[in-house]
Amino acid sequence: MFSFKGINFRDMNLRIIGEVEYTSTVRDITVVKVPGRNGEVYIDNGRYESVERGLKAVLDLPGNANIEDSVTRIHNWLVSDPGEHELTLGNDRDFVYRAVITDKQNITRLLRNYGRAVLRFRIHPIKYMRGGLEVVEIRDGAIINNPYPINAEPRITVRGDGEIIIKIGEKVIDLRDVDEGIILDSEIETAFSLDGERTQFDKVYSFPFPVLKPGDNVLTIPNNVSVSMIPRLGALV
């Protein structure tokens, strides 16, 4: 199934056809030429690049449909509400992509109720396991396995008070003066209150933000604290 923003392409009378090109992400590296030195110096900027992907589709409408009305619906669906949205791609059913529309979309009318299009997306460099986007309740000694060779950046919800020490493997999460709880979002490197209204950086005494490394991650949780997590396990596009 192909869908974007939770809407199936077929609900818009679009059917994906032809070849699908799988372009990979690449590490963001700055190439520096140094006078007097052979070759170049490569500086790793610590991130992966987004990926451009075009999906070829046909617009195949029922006999009583108006193609102009359908094109308007499709353009509004794709372009309204800018920003990243969930994208699912055909047989890659175990993963969810995040994508944004950055280019103009063109649909070519061939017959009265038939046309073709190339839908162009800019895709986040990590695709997420569906199971890795679900909330998991964490107990002391729990093990979360990250099956892919990149760090996962979880969203961790901690409920408790005072000084709290949590460990993920050897990584210590040091929280102090916590009032009821705190949310740590490693992807956006932000700490905020349980209601999402207040930043809580003054409660965090350990940096960088925690990640789930490839392989098994053993969690150590104090008895008087409850922890839940969205692991965000994912692979490179």
Query: What are the residue boundaries of the structural domains of the chain, listed by start?
Result: 3-124, 131-236
∠ at Cα 190 (229, 204), nearest 5°?
85
Q: Supply the pLDDT for residue 173.
A: 98
Phi, psi of 74 (to 5 degrees): -65, -45
Q: What is the mean pLDDT of the chain?
A: 93
Amino acid type, 224: N
Buried b (16+ CB within 10 A) or exposed e, 52-80: ebebebbbebeeeeebeebbeebeebbee
Fold (topology level) of 3-124: Elongation Factor Tu (Ef-tu); domain 3 (2.40.30)
% of the chain with per-residue pLDDT over 90: 80
- The per-residue pLDDT for range 104-124, each reduced to its tens digit, is 888 888 777 888 998 999 999
* 153/136 Cα distance (integer angstroms): 14
Helices (H), the chain: 67-79
What gap in Å lies between CA 50 and CA 43, rounded to an integer? 18
**Taking the CB of residue 212, how many other CB atoms lie within 10 A of it?**
26
Residues in the chain: 237
On whether the CB atoms of residues 226 and 122 are closer than 8 A, the answer is no
* Token pair for 35: 């006078």
Is pTM beyond 0.75? Reply is yes
Digitized pLDDT (tens) for each residue of the chain, 237 residues in all? 899 999 999 999 999 987 777 789 999 999 999 998 999 999 999 999 999 998 999 999 988 888 889 999 999 999 988 889 999 998 788 999 999 998 888 888 877 788 899 899 999 999 999 999 999 999 999 999 999 999 999 999 999 999 999 999 999 999 999 999 999 999 999 999 999 999 999 999 999 999 999 999 999 999 999 999 999 999 999
User: What's the fold here for domain 131-236?
Assistant: Jelly Rolls (2.60.120)
pLDDT at position 103, please? 84
Q: Closest by alpha carbon to 74, among 153, 163, 8?
A: 8
What's the confidence (pLDDT) of residue 181? 97
Full 3-state SS string of 18-33: CCCCCCCCCEEEEEEC
The predicted structure's pLDDT at residue 226: 97
